[in-house]
């Protein structure tokens, strides 16, 4: 792993036709990392950890997908957090309605960090079912919503992900995300790449049939049935690595896992930000968030206490806990605890977990999470 060294550039070397100077002021800024150029419009105030986090996520995704096999395959990408005006100017007609979008190796978004689009920018375009399924499967933000997907059968969506009545719904994204999670976790990245490359972007059913037969030794029906019947998570299966689980580990003190600190947007491990362009509207910012991992040695009931500050309008933050192991195609809902919680008691199995603490303001604020064996 190489050092991430960032330089703040004022539009130099991005010369792709956009105006870089506006009345002497730069129109956007670039923080250049090892894998990703993090760009943001004038008027956006990203937290200090955003560029580092996007770079780390790109590297994590590349490792999970085996894109770094010969170092040639990891494309350098850009991520741009844009004002509405810049979004319209920089993207194309198919993007304008979306919250985020990617065109080639360039990801664009209305939010400070958009993992889904970063995955798209790292991969060449593929059949939409696989393309979107992969972005959903690897997006740390997908976990909770995937646990609520009832429909599982991938067959109706394979060809008709974009066209047809079934496509481009939350359900379709969820079905694709779960099935791709299964393919990656059970059969590995190499076979997934082979199938991804074999099925054209505009596919017909025989394309799926022959790719599945060739690379998974199963027809589409056989593979779908096998997946639908895999309702129990095999013991000892290697996890599909989650990005949050690569966060720094909290070392327990006296049997307690304690995370306590002042969170500020200027901290190097904090993500989020504020859009000054939207400061008068309802969506000026996304607050800040930070993740940590921890290990539970003894399964049992634990008391989880979360304390976050309350804003003027009464909003509080929250902590989201989730397991790092298990089967990604059988997701359990993360455990969301609203600050301020007096202490919810919950069962935690043995193994590694992550916790993400999120608060609505970007100014310095005290937060704490403590997890201790329930008496």
- Phi, psi angle pair for 55, to nearest 5°: -65, -45
- Sites for Zn ion among residues 135-154 (CB under 5 A): 135
Q: Where are the beta strands (DSSP E) in the chain?
A: 7-9, 21-22, 25-26, 28-32, 36-41, 44-46, 77-81, 100-103, 106-109, 257-263, 271-275, 285-296, 300-307, 318-323, 335-338, 341-348, 351-359, 365-373
CA–CA dist 257, 173 (Å, integer): 35
Which listed range, 7-15, 56-64, 88-96, 126-134, lies at the site for Zn ion (CB under 5 A)?
126-134
Q: Which is nearer to Zn ion, 62 or 319 (CB)?
A: 62
Tokens of 215: 């690379």
Classify the phi-psi angles of 331: left when phi > 0, otherwise alpha if psi is within -120 to 50, otherwise beta.
beta
- Sites for Zn ion among residues 278-337 (CB under 5 A): none
Burial of 273 (0-12, 13-18, 19+ CB in 10 A): buried
For the chain, the maximum distance between any two Cα atoms, rounded to a whole number of angstroms, is: 64
Q: Which is nearer to Zn ion, 102 or 275 (CB)?
A: 102
Question: Which residue sits closest to Zn ion, CB atoms considered?
Answer: 135
**Would you give the DSSP letter of residue 339?**
S
What is the DSSP pairing of strand 77-81 with strand 106-109?
Answer: parallel
Q: Which is nearer to Zn ion, 107 or 296 (CB)?
A: 107
Q: State how far the alpha carbon of 335 is from the alpha carbons of 57, 179, 257, in Å.
A: 22, 23, 16
Which listed range, 133-141, 236-244, 261-269, 325-333, lies at the site for Zn ion (CB under 5 A)?
133-141
For the chain, the straight-line distance linking the first and the last C-alpha, in angstroms and rounded, comes to 43
Q: How far is the CB of 135 from Zn ion (least distance, A)?
A: 5
Tokens of 318: 């929250």
Which listed range, 134-142, 241-249, 276-284, 343-351, lies at the site for Zn ion (CB under 5 A)?
134-142
Q: How far is the CB of 171 from Zn ion (least distance, A)?
A: 15
Q: Which is nearer to Zn ion, 135 or 240 (CB)?
A: 135
Q: How far is the CB of 129 from Zn ion (least distance, A)?
A: 11
Q: How far is the CB of 199 from Zn ion (least distance, A)?
A: 17
Strand partners, 52: none
Which listed range, 47-55, 127-135, 268-276, 329-337, lies at the site for Zn ion (CB under 5 A)?
127-135
Report whether 87 contacts 114 (CB < 8 A): no
Q: Which is nearer to Zn ion, 54 or 135 (CB)?
A: 135
Q: How far is the CB of 48 from Zn ion (least distance, A)?
A: 28
CA–CA dist 287, 298 (Å, integer): 34
Q: Which is nearer to Zn ion, 106 or 132 (CB)?
A: 132
Q: Which is nearer to Zn ion, 132 or 244 (CB)?
A: 132
Q: Which is nearer to Zn ion, 74 or 135 (CB)?
A: 135
Which residue do the tokens 């005006």 mark?
85
Q: Which is nearer to Zn ion, 135 or 369 (CB)?
A: 135
Residue 36 interacting with Zn ion (CB under 5 A): no
Write each residue from 216 to 255 as x if it is in contact with Zn ion (CB under 5 A), else as -, in one continuous string: ----------------------------------------
Size of the site for Zn ion (CB under 5 A): 2
Q: How far is the CB of 28 from Zn ion (least distance, A)?
A: 23
Which listed range, 13-21, 30-38, 130-138, 174-182, lies at the site for Zn ion (CB under 5 A)?
130-138
Residues that bind Zn ion (CB under 5 A): 132, 135
């Amino acid at each position: 792993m190489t050092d991430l060294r960032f330089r703040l550039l004022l539009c130099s070397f991005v010369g792709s036709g956009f105006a870089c100077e506006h009345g002497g002021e730069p129109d956007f800024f670039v923080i250049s990392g090892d894998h990703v150029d993090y760009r943001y419009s004038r008027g956006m105030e990203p937290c200090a950890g955003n560029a580092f986090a996007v770079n780390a996520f790109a590297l994590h995704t590349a490792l999970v997908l085996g894109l770094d096999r010969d170092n040639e395959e990891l494309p350098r990408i850009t991520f741009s957090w844009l004002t509405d005006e810049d979004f319209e100017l920089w993207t194309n007609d198919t993007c304008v309605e979306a919250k985020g979008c990617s065109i080639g190796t360039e990801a664009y978004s209305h939010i400070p960090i958009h993992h889904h689009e970063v995955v798209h920018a790292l991969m060449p375009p593929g059949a939409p079912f696989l393309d979107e399924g992969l972005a959903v499967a690897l997006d740390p933000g997908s976990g909770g919503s995937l646990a609520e997907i009832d429909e599982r059968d991938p067959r109706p969506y394979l060809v008709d992900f974009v066209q047809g009545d079934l496509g481009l719904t939350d359900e379709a994204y969820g079905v694709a995300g779960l099935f791709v999670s299964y393919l990656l976790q059970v059969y590995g990245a190499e076979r997934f790449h082979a199938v991804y490359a074999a099925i054209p972007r505009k596919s017909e059913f025989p394309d799926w049939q022959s790719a599945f037969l060739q690379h998974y030794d199963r027809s589409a029906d056989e593979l779908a049935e096998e997946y639908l019947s895999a309702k129990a998570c095999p013991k000892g299966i290697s996890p599909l690595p989650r990005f949050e689980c690569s966060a720094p580990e909290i070392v327990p003190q006296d049997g307690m896992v304690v995370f306590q600190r002042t969170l500020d947007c200027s901290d190097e491990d904090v993500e989020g930000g504020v859009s000054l362009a939207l400061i008068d509207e309802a969506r000026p910012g996304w607050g800040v968030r930070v993740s940590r991992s921890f290990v539970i040695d003894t399964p049992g009931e634990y008391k989880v206490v979360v304390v976050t500050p309350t804003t003027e309008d009464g909003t509080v933050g929250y902590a989201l806990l989730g397991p790092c192991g298990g089967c990604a195609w059988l997701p359990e809902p993360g455990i969301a605890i609203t600050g301020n919680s007096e202490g919810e008691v919950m069962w935690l199995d043995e193994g590694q977990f992550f916790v993400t603490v999120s608060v609505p303001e970007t100014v310095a604020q005290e937060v704490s999470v403590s997890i201790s064996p329930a008496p």
